[in-house]
Chains A and B, each alone.
Chain A
Amino acid sequence: MYVAVKGGERAIENAHRLLAHERRGDRDVAEISLAQISGQLSLGVDRVMTEGSLYDRELAALAIKQARGDLIEAIFLVRAFRATLPRFGATEPVDTGTMQVRRRISSTFKDIPGGQVLGPTFDYTHRLLDPQLAEGSAPEAPVAAEPLAAMPRVTDILGRDGLIEASPQTDDGAPVGDLTREPLSFPADRDLRLQNLARADEGFLLALGYSTQRGYGRSHPFAGEIRFGEVEVEFFAEDAGFTVPLGAIAMTECQMVNQFKGSATEAPCFTRGYGLAFGQSERKTMSMALVDRSLRARELSEEIKAPAQDEEFVMSHSDNVQATGFVEHLKLPHYVDFQSELGLLRKLRAEFFEAAASAEPLQEAAE
């Protein structure tokens, strides 16, 4: 007897109810709060804000809670919400030179004006599981340091002597490229490439950046500077005719200093790779800077032969919301197409065996 596979509507409702139940977990254990997620899983929140391209700690924390800790699912929730928000305009470019620095390191100089500031970092911790943390802990108060003055960027120091290429000058009149509002076409300019990389999956960029270090599009990078702290965001209000401060956001910036270029007419100088992300996102910005530099191959007349240098390849596959959707859509029914493949395959196999059967006597005769 044929049983129609129906009742999908109720099945969906029941599945969602079960999901909500599983999300809550053991009801004897206190429910996790958004403040806990935002305050204690803050690097996860930073990643969701960065790849969700929406700076809102509370919404990102909500998304993480709703997604049961699946960060790509959380990023998806934030993106879908972001797509519905009205756009008032674009802010003035943030000036990371005036950042209230909480961490700042350079690997290219032993000491730099403003000093090396380790800040809150996993670097130099021994990765030993800490049983004390499992019990709940009251960590010591941090050592009070004097507030840090604004710090010059390492690349600016190099730039004064012309040792590194100048940052491209912004054309204030030009509209800001936005690949969420305009369809992307190739070749893409650097502003759109950087936007794509800022939204890109951290793991994908990490692997691509890593591949350049292992020789697939090598670019001889040095971590010129990595800085993390608060920057002011300002918006030019047309009506008022002046710039209005909107507040401060936490950001991480990475400036890579890469192999130099030069020619008969141009003095040799280092080149740049750039990474910028919300919150403390060091791995992301370093990977982004490596890939940004690789994607400048065309502009710097380098031979394009590695995946990380191929902008169509990188930009078309970097978005984890797109990628996860398409990979996971294989869960949807495909039985109509499968049926036609099945029909074709059966026909081809029937023809194959027919041909084989009629060929056998001939072969025997030949023997």
Chain B
Amino acid sequence: MNASAYNFAYLDEQTKRMIRRAILKAIAIPGYQVPFASREMPMPYGWGTGGVQVTAAILGPDDVLKVIDQGSDDTTNAISIRKFFAKTAGVATTTSTEDATVIQTRHRIPEAPLHAGQVLVYQVPIPEPLRFLEPRETETRRMHALGEYGLMHVKLYEDIARFGHIATSYAYPVKVNARYVMDPSPTPKFDNPKMDDCPALQLFGAGREKRIYAIPPHTTVVSLDFEDHPFTRYRFDAPCALCGADDTYLDEIVRDDQGSRMFVCSDTDYCEGRQAAGHRGTESAAPHKERAHG
């Protein structure tokens, strides 16, 4: 079996058409989860099959694809998916947020602002924001239909009563276009404000759960909160140790077993761009080696 045995971008055209219809419906009803006949993909469920199917359906020969996982182009699953499309679609790939026309992501939104014409494709494990409050699909669909989101507010309120804060740090629920409560996928809530009024099209694909949803460009996206407990973006205590950025999401790197740590940008492309532009952090002097695992 070689790649040429498969259609452009792996999926057959009938399947792509079916997915595109779901995407169009999703764009027409922002934040609404559209059921679609998700296919078995050659990578496991839970590893990005929804995002991969959305990307396969929208990809054209002239597209430039970027794939990130945890904000990085270099994580193994990002590499695996990027190679999959390089092989089955032969499209150009990039690590540059600016140059990409399609960006598939898991768990992050790039730090660099997205622009019109770009599509951000999210991999979604559990598309239903109400799932952990109500396990039944028949119930949650009814709650969405009636706009019955009291349960979610009660959950957030209970967090405040128990911890003094809303104790949701990722997959933080949002309301899209003042209608549907939506799960932004497990991105840290730090990224939530980037979804609001974004010039790029945002598509969400959940393969195992067979749902697609969307945020069209320049749609209002509001993180759920209370007047007296407004949504706050997580702030780090230190700037990035490599590029000095103080407004990015940081990964904590444990350096030894003595409790020594450092913080670096999770978005590797953004961090490298800043370093190339001359920005420095506390650890920049140290040689920055690459290591290949055998």
Contacts and interface: CB of A to CB of B under 8 A. Distances in A.
Interface stretch (A92-100, A163-171, A326-334): A326-334
Contacts of B249: 336, 339
A25 to B, nearest CB: 21
Given A12-B79, A348-B163, A3 B107 contact: no
B12 interface: yes
Interface in A139-191: 180-187
Contacts of B47: 325, 329, 332
B210 A183 contact: yes
Main secondary structure of the interface of A (DSSP, over half): helix
B140 to A, nearest CB: 11
A278 interface: no
A157 B208 CA distance: 43
Interface string B150-174: 0000000000000111010111000
A228 interface: no
A82 interface: yes
B266 A11 contact: no
Contact of B37 (A181, A326, A335): A181
Given A336-B70, A348-B163, A348-B165, A341 B286 contact: no
Nearest to B168: A344
A358 B210 CA distance: 51
Contacts of B12: 84, 86
Nearest to A78: B40
B110 to A, nearest CB: 12
A329 B46 CA distance: 5
A326 B208 contact: yes
B41 interface: yes
Contacts of A340: 169-170, 188-190, 234
Interface string A302-346: 000000000010001000011011111100111111011111100
A333 B45 contact: no
Contact of B79 (A8, A14, A187): A8
A344 B234 CA distance: 8
Nearest to A326: B46
A67 B232 CA distance: 47
A333 B268 CA distance: 15
Interface string A7-49: 1111110100000000000000000000000000000000000
B39 A6 contact: no
A80 B42 contact: yes
Interface string B231-254: 000101000011000000111110
A351 B37 contact: no
Contacts of B234: 340, 343-344
A127 B110 CA distance: 60
Interface residues of B, number: 73
A347 interface: yes
B137 A312 contact: yes
Interface string B81-98: 001000000000000000
A341 B45 contact: no
Contact of A332 (B74, B77, B210, B252): B77
A268 to B, nearest CB: 32
Contacts of B170: 336-337, 340-341
Nearest to B212: A183
Interface string A228-272: 000000000000000000000000000000000000000000000
Contacts of B163: 348
A183 B205 CA distance: 14
A337 B208 contact: no
Interface string B241-276: 110000001111101000000101010000000000
Contact of A10 (B165, B264, B293): B293
Nearest to B189: A340
B40 A321 contact: yes
A103 interface: no
8 A-B pairs closest in CB distance: A325-B45, A329-B46, A7-B292, A325-B44, A183-B35, A340-B169, A326-B46, A11-B293
5 contacts: A4-B74, A8-B76, A326-B46, A334-B70, A339-B251
Interface of B: 1, 6, 10, 12, 35-42, 44-47, 49, 69-71, 74-80, 83, 106-108, 125, 135-138, 163-165, 167, 169-171, 186-190, 208, 210, 234, 236, 241-242, 249-253, 255, 262, 264, 266, 283, 286-294
